[in-house]
């Protein structure tokens, strides 16, 4: 049986990844310290024979008896509200945590998949963003705790690839949404949906002209699963996201419409260094693994609204 470690397994993306690997018959060891995740996200996995959970902070090294084949390092707060609340934890998990998981990968000669982010492009001057774009990041701004630790982790991962010929793959994930996002997560999708369901004003930051592209979590997981199980991708950096780009103001109107809400829109200050544009160029990953998102925004939102509604009740 192939043994996979998923750090951040009790989080939004990590728990969906664990579902996929467990259902496909892999032996999954999930690690999490519950900084931003919850046991509820993995409750359906806890009684499965091929799933093990270890409560552990990955900034401390961990020794496991079994041979590990694949490591997916996904532990890290991802919502701007979360990483601004936990700036040092964020810097540690994507520096010391990345180092610890890369070392574990080296000891086991395991394939290593690092969860990077579109944030490494900062406030991009190129749209859409291809992997070859170097980015425009404010290296000491508020958001730098996230952007720069991801950039450091990318550099560290590539150094392990070059120095030790480790089988490293980096996925640069763009805004992803779906069930298991927390109601109070702070990201735009759960914020707008919970506001709309409560008939409260939707809070658009700035004028709402900034853009984002939203990928449904099932599509993202499909891409990561394929990348984890395809040979000869060593040293590749790949964007994963949905290239359909929306202005945030238009997105607010879509949510009001989809939820049949009486909510209005209110404008609040734009957070510091909020990127004005974000859209993935996915041609590289399309040609490497023939992946592209399959879920329409309409269907993805329907599932997400259903989930968040159940949490409100």
Residues taking part in catalysis: 146
Bond prior to 128 in cis (omega within 30° of 0): yes
Cβ burial 236-256 (10 Å sphere, 16+ → b, else e): bbbbbbbbebbebbebbbebb
Nearest-angstrom CA–CA distance, 165 and 161: 5
Query: Pairing state of beta strands 111-117 and 70-73?
Result: parallel
- For residue 115, the partner it binds in ligand NAD, ligand UDP, none, with Cβ less than 5 to 8 A by kind, is ligand NAD
- For residue 204, the partner it binds in ligand NAD, ligand UDP, none, with Cβ less than 5 to 8 A by kind, is ligand UDP
In a 13 Å sphere around the CA of 255, the CA atoms on its Cβ side amount to 32
Chain residues 225-264 in contact with ligand UDP, contact rule CB under 6 A:
248
Nearest-angstrom CA–CA distance, 72 and 111: 9
CB atoms within 10 A of CB 312: 10
Binding flags for ligand UDP, 269-298, as an x/- string (CB under 6 A) = --x--x------------------------
Q: Does 102 bind ligand UDP (CB under 6 A)?
A: no
- Which of the ranges 3-11, 83-91, 121-129, 198-206 carries the binding residues for ligand UDP, by CB under 6 A? 198-206
Q: Does 187 bind ligand UDP (CB under 6 A)?
A: yes
Q: Does 34 bind ligand NAD (CB under 6 A)?
A: yes
Query: What's the min distance (Å) between Cβ of 70 and ligand UDP?
Result: 27
**Residues 4/10/16/22 CA torsion (nearest 10 deg):** 40
Binding ligand NAD (rule: CB under 6 A), the pick from 3, 30, 77, 100 is 77
Chain residues 114-173 in contact with ligand NAD, contact rule CB under 6 A:
115, 117, 173
Sign of dihedral through CA atoms 56, 60, 66, 71? positive
Q: Would you say 82 and 186 are in contact if contact means Cβ atoms under 8 Å apart?
A: yes
Binding ligand UDP (rule: CB under 6 A), the pick from 50, 85, 203, 229 is 203
Token pair in block for residue 71: 């490591």
- For residue 212, the partner it binds in ligand NAD, ligand UDP, none, with Cβ less than 5 to 8 A by kind, is ligand UDP
Binding flags for ligand NAD, 39-58, as an x/- string (CB under 6 A) = ------------------xx
Q: Does 80 bind ligand UDP (CB under 6 A)?
A: yes
Residues in the chain: 313
Binding site for ligand NAD (CB under 6 A): 7-8, 10-14, 31-37, 57-59, 74-78, 82, 89, 93, 97, 115, 117, 173, 175-176
């Amino acid at each position: 049986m192939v043994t996979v470690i998923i750090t951040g397994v009790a989080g939004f993306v990590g728990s969906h990844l664990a579902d996929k690997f467990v259902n496909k018959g892999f032996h999954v060891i999930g690690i999490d310290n519950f900084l931003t995740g919850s046991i509820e996200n993995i409750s359906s996995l806890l009684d499965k024979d091929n799933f093990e959970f270890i409560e552990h902070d990955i900034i401390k090294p961990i020794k496991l008896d079994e041979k590990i084949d694949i490591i997916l390092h996904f532990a890290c707060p991802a919502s701007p509200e979360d990483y601004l609340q936990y700036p040092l934890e964020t810097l540690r998990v994507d520096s010391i945590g990345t180092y610890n998981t890369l070392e574990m990968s080296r000891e086991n000669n395991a394939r290593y998949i690092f969860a990077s982010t579109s944030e490494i492009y900062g406030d991009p001057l190129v749209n859409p963003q291809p992997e070859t774009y170097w980015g425009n990041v404010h290296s000491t701004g508020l958001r730098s705790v996230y952007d720069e630790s991801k950039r450091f982790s990318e550099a560290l991962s590539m150094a392990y690839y070059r120095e030790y010929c480790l089988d490293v793959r980096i996925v640069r994930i763009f805004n992803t949404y779906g069930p298991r996002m927390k109601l109070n997560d702070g990201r735009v999708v759960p914020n707008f949906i919970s506001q709309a369901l409560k008939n409260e004003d939707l809070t658009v930051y700035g004028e709402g002209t900034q853009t984002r592209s939203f990928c449904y979590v099932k599509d993202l997981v499909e891409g990561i699963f394929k990348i984890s199980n395809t040979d000869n991708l060593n040293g590749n950096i790949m964007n994963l996201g949905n290239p359909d780009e929306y202005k945030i103001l238009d997105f607010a109107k879509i949510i009001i419409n989809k939820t049949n809400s009486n909510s209005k829109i209110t404008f609040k200050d734009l957070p510091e260094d909020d990127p004005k544009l974000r859209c993935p160029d996915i041609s590289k990953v399309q040609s490497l693994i023939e992946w592209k998102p399959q879920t329409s925004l309409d269907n993805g939102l329907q599932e997400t609204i259903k989930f968040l509604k159940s949490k409100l009740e």
